[in-house]
Structure 1
Amino acid sequence: MISQIKKMSSSTIFPLLLLLTILSLVVLSPIVTMVIFGAILAYYVRFISCRIKPYVKYDTLSIFLGMILLTIPIALLLYFTITQILGISSLLLGSVQQATAVNSTMDLSHINGAVEKLGLSPAITQNITDAIKSGILQLLSTITNSLINMVSSIPALAAQILILIFSIFYFARDGDKIVQYIKDVVPDKDKGFYREVLNGADDVLKSIIVGNIIPAAILGVLSGVVYYFLGYPYVILLAIISGIAMFIPIIGPWIVYGAIGLFSILTGNTTQGILVIIFGWIIETTTDFYIRPRISVQYSEVHPLVFLLGFIYGAVTMGIPGLFIGPLILGITYAAYKVYRQERLKSKQAND
């Protein structure tokens, strides 16, 4: 078999490999996002497992422990946040079934009082109150439909999570073999180029974790300070929610600032509601457009605009995994072009 391959010309082998690669991507297209996301998370699992390895006997055990240590804080934060949100929502709005019922008798006395303070005519006041009630009912109906769709898609979601877990494990365990395989396939004359690209990928991966976790923590702390001075209850919970909401594509922490501000305005605390929206806009804009690209670029020479576009449009096109995949793809592409440019300049200088 090997001798037959040696007899084949490179012009024949390359199209065959290209065709097989394209066919493989077509087959894996439904899960390719999770596989790439798993490879990225495996990078961080390997970092944790390397710190654990001196204390355990088996490499596989260190990888499992690394995966667990990476999962526990995320799971606890999500569990605590979701349960608290559901508890507070039930206190404020009642059950979803009652709120979304056609003949729902939602208590809007506090909203009516807030609208009446505006000094408008009774007809306009009633229209505004009806519009608010209709908006709340529509929002809760949307939430209900989303929950139903989420429940119906549990099998597909479970399959995606299973693929993600296996991808993390195998990439973390066999990462060195994969890198060595790439080195063996790459021609000797091109190894310097690919070495620089891999080093750029390493820098980008470090920048991604710093550009996601640290900005979210900064936003959560600053939001907590604002909530505290504005007199809101559940300051710690709201701060955690605000930080986690930064990972939500497009909307981000505005889902928190907007909901809190609107509720404060409707309950008569107009100044408090306006201030939380203004300060929330300042915090979110500063964190997303200044702090995040700036601290990410400290770990890589990639331009901040590349990271910004990767964070935003990666999330738009691929959801939460896109927060990691988007910057990685754009960052590696930028690094590859930069290395290629440097090689070209060196070649020109040598010829001159």
Structure 2
Amino acid sequence: MDVRTAFFALLVAVLGVIGFLLVDPFLQYVLAAGLIAFVLFPLHERLADRIGQRLSAGFLTAVTFVVAIVPLLILSLIIIDTTISFLTELQGSQLSAFIDSIRRFLLEDLGAQPEQVAEFESAVLAEFEGLLDASTDILLTQTLGLLDTTVEVGTGVLILAFLLYYFLVDGTELLDWTRQVTPLSGDVQDELYEEMSRVIWAVVGSHLLVAIAEGILGGLGLWVLGISNAAFWAVVMVILSVLPLIGIWLVWGPMVGYLIVVGDPVGAVILLVYGLSVLAVVDEYLRAILVDVGSGIHPAIVLIGVLGGIYLLGVMGLFLGPVLLALFKAAVTVFDRTHGIPSAG
């Protein structure tokens, strides 16, 4: 390597590092824009033939915000309002009713002594008040932190919209430029893009579909049984559904115990049967068919992708994390097929 080549390579490396530092604060929005553009591009191509590239891209960008971003903001407000209302109600009549239900359960059903029940009740109240105070402090801290990051989030959302529009308009040119500067043969690039496209559709589409289906079914079951804040718990179940090997039983399972404690054994049995016969079956088989089989990604890897994605990229890492790991697997798979060492025999 001569001096000129070395200098030019160093210049490219330095500019690349500077470029990454500039993009890093909004990396999650850039990746999310690329992912959304990938999902919408087939529809954009069909629509662009009728109304034009820019009008189609603008329309799909607007629809994405109306269908996805705005509901997410509304749900965030609902979660905050529900949490505050829940903590407020626990300080009032609901706390007394809950303690009375536990007292009757211990005295009548378990036959405990009144002195033991009184001691247990005092201990529970003391622990609960401490937990409630800590929860209130955490909620206020997080709420203030959310307000502090409003400007950053707003800027990121604007960047997402801007990039989504131009990814749709100039996506083909960007892909052609990538193919030109990538030092791989055309056949290898075709195979790489095909494998990446397959795993992206399998992971993103299937995870999102399963999560929404389980959240709707779970929330509907809680609503039919008259459990308050069913919409809030439906959102929680959507989030938990993205996590493989964890799932929405973390919501409906404790709800069964709650219904027993408050004196609704019939509702508890119905929810238990519904959870085991409907929710568990949907989680097990639909996820296995659409996610694990389709993507070829082990559930443990998906779990690491989700948790690592949240840690690295925030809320959007729920979907970006598994996709990035799936892309890594696709690249390794194609490399092994095209440049791997042949096996002996």
TM-score after normalising by structure 2: 0.76
Q: Which residue of 2 aligns with 1:132?
A: 128
Q: Percent identity?
A: 17
Q: CA 1:334 to 1:90, structure 2 compared with 1: closer, same or farther past 3 Å?
A: closer
Following superposition, the deviation at residue 210 of structure 1 comes to 1.8
Per-residue displacement from partner, 1:148-183 (whole Å, max 9, x unpaired)?
A: 221122112211212222221222221111111111
Whether 1:201 and 2:196 are equivalent positions in the alignment is: yes
Whether 1:113 and 2:100 are equivalent positions in the alignment is: yes
Q: Which residue of 1 aligns with 2:321?
A: 326
The answer as to whether partners of 2:240 and 2:247 remain within 8 angstroms in 1 is yes
Superposition RMSD in Å? 4.0
Q: Matched residues in 1 for 2:13 and 2:151: separation?
A: 33
Q: Which residue of 2 aligns with 1:4?
A: none
Whether 1:29 and 2:24 are equivalent positions in the alignment is: yes
Q: CA 1:162 to 1:272, structure 2 compared with 1: closer, same or farther past 3 Å?
A: same
Following superposition, the deviation at residue 124 of structure 1 comes to 2.0
Which stretches in structure 1 are left out of the alignment for 5+ residues?
A: 1-6
The answer as to whether partners of 1:204 and 1:332 remain within 8 angstroms in 2 is yes
Whether 1:190 and 2:185 are equivalent positions in the alignment is: yes
Q: Which residue of 2 aligns with 1:3?
A: none
Q: Matched residues in 2 for 1:296 and 1:210: separation?
A: 9
Q: Matched residues in 2 for 1:263 and 1:141: separation?
A: 25
The answer to which of 82-91 and 66-75 deviates more is 82-91
Which stretches in structure 2 are left out of the alignment for 5+ residues?
A: 108-115
The answer as to whether partners of 2:310 and 2:316 remain within 8 angstroms in 1 is yes
Q: 2:235 aligns with which of 235, 241, 259?
A: 241
Following superposition, the deviation at residue 341 of structure 1 comes to 1.4
The answer as to whether partners of 2:203 and 2:322 remain within 8 angstroms in 1 is yes
Match of 1:232, SS state, is coil
The answer as to whether partners of 2:26 and 2:156 remain within 8 angstroms in 1 is yes
Q: Matched residues in 2 for 1:146 and 1:283: separation?
A: 35
Q: Matched residues in 2 for 1:129 and 1:59: separation?
A: 63
Q: Report the residue type matching 2:168 in the other structure.
A: A
Per-residue displacement from partner, 1:10-36 (whole Å, max 9, x unpaired)?
A: 555444323322232123221222211
Whether 1:218 and 2:217 are equivalent positions in the alignment is: no
The answer as to whether partners of 2:206 and 2:290 remain within 8 angstroms in 1 is yes
Q: Which residue of 2 aligns with 1:52?
A: 47
Q: CA 1:328 to 1:94, structure 2 compared with 1: closer, same or farther past 3 Å?
A: closer
The answer to which of 121-130 and 236-245 deviates more is 236-245
Q: Matched residues in 2 for 1:87 and 1:18: separation?
A: 48
The answer as to whether partners of 1:114 and 1:265 remain within 8 angstroms in 2 is no
Q: 1:69 aligns with which of 63, 71, 80?
A: 63
Per-residue displacement from partner, 1:72-118 (whole Å, max 9, x unpaired)?
A: 233564466556657766765548xxx7xxxx766632022122122
The answer as to whether partners of 1:219 and 1:242 remain within 8 angstroms in 2 is no
Q: CA 1:246 to 1:21, structure 2 compared with 1: closer, same or farther past 3 Å?
A: same
Q: CA 1:79 to 1:305, structure 2 compared with 1: closer, same or farther past 3 Å?
A: closer
